[in-house]
Structure 1
Amino acid sequence: MSAQPAEPAPAITLRSERPQDGAAVDALIARAFGPGRYAKSSERVREFATFAPELSVCAWSGERLLGCARMWRVRVGGRAVTFLGPFAVELGERNAGFGARLIARACEAAAAAGESHVVLVGDEAYFGRVGFAAAPGRAVVMPGPVDQRRVLVRALTADAGELAGMVAPL
């Protein structure tokens, strides 16, 4: 009996979020986070932030949405920066490696748009692989309660400088 050849991994297309992607992205986020996401301080940011679909990235396999990384424009201490989140990958597609590609692509888009920093709330062990660290986020103040060790920052340029202050609307 001969072994069956493994099916090739599906081709993944990364592209900016389009208006017609909104319902699929919202459904993916609902599946990934459930209703508990509304209690998070990141959600407080999204209530006042300006959505940046041109910086947000979706991962597609044909017509199937596999993941998303949404970006928002905010200020931290008077400086315009981007806020990443939510970031979600379909349950059956996790650990395939394209989650990090999604985040990297969103950060590349922000850098190309002239943004200086990306801020998020997440696990440094995961997001550190794509350039985020907790130390630069120590002086970034989120609205509402948050574990300050989970406020992560990625500088997009060598001369971006430090961030300090409250995350606020543009």
Structure 2
Amino acid sequence: MTELSLTIRPEMPGDSDAIERLHERAFGPGRFARSAYRLREGAPHDPTLSFTANVGTLLVGSVRLSPIFAGRVAGLVLGPLTVEPAFENRGIGAALMNRSLAAARKAGHGLVLLVGDEPYYRRFGFVPVPRGRLAMPGPVDPARFLALELEAGTLAEAKGPVTAGRG
């Protein structure tokens, strides 16, 4: 298999249309009904913590982090993490995850939440949110509601509803 000439770079304003088309191909129209999507509608993603993956000039992946509150604790919600279906299983998602989490850690953020497959996200340090601790704005499978502490103790402090954050 040929090596990809992959570039991970900060998301730029001109990437929005290509990212939206990528989300459409990867997740379909059902993405709008998901609780995590509804949460992200309340606060725009942070462009300093959001990245794209490119092979040449082709955008093949994207990850976004958006500000939230987990009870009274400021945090981030990760997602969507998207890779062009034809480029899956080549390490692109992991490269995007590592870059975005490193940027969040460097910026001083303490907590990242997401809704996703625990077996995939476990390698980045995500663990299931203890049942009953936090409530998303809509139904979420508790086994898929995950958290990563970038600062020790932040998850223990987070209790209550998860709401969109604002600057």
Question: TM-score, normalising length from structure 2?
Answer: 0.92
Q: Distance in 2 between matches of 1:76 and 1:50?
A: 17
Q: Distance in 2 between matches of 1:145 and 1:110?
A: 27
CA displacement 1:39-75 (0-9 Å, x = unmatched): 1111110121232011011111110111111110011
Gaps of 5+ in 2: none
1:42 is matched with which residue? Answer: 36
1:92 paired to 2:86: yes
Output the amino acid matched with 2:16. Answer: G
Q: Distance in 2 between matches of 1:137 and 1:65?
A: 37
Question: Could you tell me how far 1:78 is from its partner in structure 2?
Answer: 1.1
- Distance 1:93-1:138 versus aligned 2 partners, 3 A rule: farther
Task: Give aligned-pair identity as a percent.
Answer: 41
Give runs of aligned pairs for residues 129-148 of structure 1, distance below 5 A.
Answer: 129-135=123-129, 139-148=133-142
Q: Distance in 2 between matches of 1:94 and 1:169?
A: 30
Instruction: Confirm or deny: 8 A CA contact 2:111 2:155 kept in the other structure.
Output: no
Gaps of 5+ in 1: 1-5
1:29 is matched with which residue? Answer: 23
CA displacement 1:14-58 (0-9 Å, x = unmatched): 111110111111110111001010111111101212320110111
- Decide which structure has the larger Cα Rg and report it: 1
Give runs of aligned pairs for residues 112-131 of structure 1, distance below 5 A.
Answer: 112-131=106-125
Q: Distance in 2 between matches of 1:144 and 1:26?
A: 23
Output the amino acid matched with 1:25. Answer: I
Q: Distance in 2 between matches of 1:138 and 1:64?
A: 42
Pick from 70, 74, 94 the counterpart of residue 76 of structure 1: 70
2:45 is matched with which residue? Answer: 51
Question: TM-score, normalising length from structure 1?
Answer: 0.90
What is the number of equivalent residue pairs in this alignment? 164
Instruction: Confirm or deny: 8 A CA contact 1:71 1:83 kept in the other structure.
Output: yes
- Structure 1 counterpart SS, 2:26: helix
Instruction: Confirm or deny: 8 A CA contact 2:68 2:77 kept in the other structure.
Output: yes
Give the root-mean-square deviation of aligned CA atoms: 1.5
Question: Could you tell me how far 1:160 is from its partner in structure 2?
Answer: 3.5
Instruction: Confirm or deny: 8 A CA contact 1:121 1:150 kept in the other structure.
Output: yes
Question: Could you tell me how far 1:92 is from its partner in structure 2?
Answer: 1.0
Instruction: Confirm or deny: 8 A CA contact 1:137 1:153 kept in the other structure.
Output: no
Q: Distance in 2 between matches of 1:106 and 1:165?
A: 26
